[in-house]
Amino acid sequence: MMCGGTSEPKPATEEVQAIMDNIKEAVEEKVGSSLSKFELISYKTQVVAGTNFFAKIDLGDSHVHARVYRNLSGEVSLHSVQHPKGLEDEIEYF
């Protein structure tokens, strides 16, 4: 990882899935529907004054890329989403 850049893609972990679960309702608002599936596929991180997570999430019929910020106190917030995305779409900085 270069200084200030994002990490290489990492496979989903239970810890990061739990972080994503905290922003599911906010993602539902952004995509405009209730989501029956919300499964983290992979993610990248960027260390800032906290951590940015760039996550690829399987919604069942499509995928979404979510940028999530976790501050130094551990509070999590959704920054933005890119939807729809495909399984093969690379996670990029946004």
Which parts of the chain have pLDDT scores under 70? 1-3
Q: What is the pLDDT of residue 31?
A: 92
Place of tokens 């989501």: 35
pLDDT of residue 2: 54
Separation of alpha carbons 73 and 94, rounded Å: 23
Q: What is the model's pLDDT at position 92?
A: 94
**pLDDT at site 41:** 98
pTM: 0.92
- Complete domains list, the chain, with CATH: 10-85 (3.10.450)
Three-state SS at 31: helix
pLDDT at 4: 75
